[in-house]
Each structure stands twice: as C-alpha cells, then as structure tokens.
Structure 1
Amino acid sequence: MQQSEVAEAVRRAAAGDRGAWDALVESFSGMMWSVATGHRLGPADAAEVVQTTWLRLLENLDRIREPERVGGWLATTARREALRLLAHRARELPAHDEVRLDREQAGTPTPEDVFLGGERDRLVSEAFARLPDRCRQLLQLVVVVSPPYAEVAAALDMPIGSIGPTRARCLERLRRLLATTDPAVDVRGAGGR
C-alpha cells in the first residue's frame, strides 16, 4: 500500500470499515511477525505479540496523528510488546529447576557494569533524540526491529535501494553526535546487515 492508501485505510478503519481494517492486517501482519520472530520468540509468543499489537492499534486507531506512518507505529509497538513479553518471561523461574542464584554463576553484572552500561545507554539515547525524524524512524526500524528491507521500504515509503546508504549516513551522523559528547561511546557495531 502507498502512504496515501495507508492513511485512507486507517481513517476508514477508525470509522468502522471492516474492509479497511482487513487491508491493514493484510499489509502489515508480515512485518509484525518478522519483528516478533526477530526477537527469537516461539510461534505462540510471536502470535501473542502480533495479536496484542493489533489490539493496541484498535484501541488507538482514532488517535493516530500520522495515519500514513501506521507501519512504523505498528513496528515500534510490536517491538515493545516483544520486549515486554521477553522481560516477563525472564522473571519466570520454573519451579522444577534447581536454580542457583549465585552471583557469579548467574552472570549478574557488578554495580560498576550496570552504571557504565546505563551511562552509555543514556548518551546514545540523547544523541539519538537529536537526529532528524527520518533518521530516527529508519534506524529504529532497521537497527532495532530489523525486518526485511522490503517492509522497511513500504513502511517509510522510500526506495529499497536507498535504505542501506541512508542507514549508513544516519549512523555516521549518530557517531558524530556521540563524539561531541563522549568519544569513548562506540556505535560501529550497530545495524550491520
């Protein structure tokens, strides 16, 4: 679907048009499954993420400010739902396992590791927020969500051949922003394809 068609489908779906809703589901379900399985979720958990993401869209359909960008909204929401599910699963300890909570065996980071990691994350987050909207959207999809380029091209309405070079320019811009705040932060490994 083109951006104008997506925007129209969102508006019609918000007005109760079942056909428009079905068109959105057909257009974006593959991308959402890709996001969910990209987080190494099994089929049942991936299905839960996709279903919850559609529910979130349904709940917010009349509040979408940029309906032509609903693909990015869905990708971000699916990523957040996958991460939420993974965090929930990580807190579950099977009762039948003999789990040792020994710090060294569990690989628990030291307080220093936690602080330094948090500081690095804060610096990257601040630099990321200073990027232009287009770069933020592209990097969030390509680096964080990592669906196939065809889905990124459709979600951002850009030629598939320009995704890689644009991603490289955006990452370089992020590196320059980080270098002005803390030269020790390195993002060279981010977003490799």
Structure 2
Amino acid sequence: MDSNTEVLHAWHAGTSGWDALVDRYSRLVWSVPRSFRLAHADAADVYQCTWLCLAEHLSRIQRPEHLGTWLVRTATRHSITVLRTRGREVAYDLWEPESTLPAPDEVAITNDRQRRLWSALMTLNERCQRLLRIAAHSPELSYAQVAAALGIKVGSVGSTRSRCLAELRRKVEGLR
C-alpha cells in the first residue's frame, strides 16, 4: 500500500491497514516524545496515547496525506501535557522514605546526655540551679534582670554563672 488514503481504506475495509500505518509512522511518533527528552516510560505513554487518539479519530480523518503532521501534533500535545504534569508532581520514593525522626542510637545518646545533665544539675546548690535555669530558658534577659530575679549584685552574675557552669561540667563528667 502506497498512500495514506489506500491504507485508511484498507483499515476501513477490515484488512491490514492499521499495521501498515503503525509500520509507516512508528519511528516518527516515537521521535516526538524523545525529542522532548521524556523518560522512557513517559515517552512510551505518549506513543501509546497518540496511536489511541488516531484509532478514536481515524474515521474523521479528512486529509490522509497530512496524517504524519496530525500524528506529530498529537504526540507533541501529549508530550507537553506530560511535561506540565511532571512539573507539578512531587517525587516520593516509596522504597526509601525520608525520615524526619532521629535514628534509635541518636535517641539513646541524647536521652543519656539529658539524664546525666539533669542528675548533675540537681546536685548543685539552689542558687546555681536557679541561675542556670534562667540562663537556659531566658537567654534574652539582661544581667540586671537576672540579678534582680536572683537577688544578687549585677556584677556577680557573670562570674557566678561561670563557676556554676564549671561545677556542672565536672559533675556531668563524673557521671560518665
């Protein structure tokens, strides 16, 4: 069969027209999604959709000599649709989900550190405990505000804090 018209008439008659069309235009249709650099699976989808559209509209083809152009345009539209859709998709790997939870060993280490810190803190005198709690939970407070809260002189806040931290450090290291 030489012309598209003959191929279309053969298809309408129920003979091998479809196979002849696919053989004739297969490489052309396949080249369109590949020219858009679609992944193999997406290009295969576009290829199949293009042939499906032709099967659905084959009886309405009025100018068989322009069938190649029609196939290229259809494949182009499908390729652009795939690109738009893929641009809105969020990749999600079902095999290796990204975990926001810490690893079990990290949890164990953190829990141990916290336990040792709190145990050591509880052995400090009342004034050091209060000062270090204020420093940890309200770092934005000025020395004047901390001094007022603890009932000590402003000039002694820094040196007292340093002594309390050094004592806490020794006690934490002693709990190892």
Give the TM-score, by structure 2 length: 0.50
Of structures 1 and 2, the one scoring higher in RCO (CA 8 A, sep 6+) is 1
Larger Rg: 2
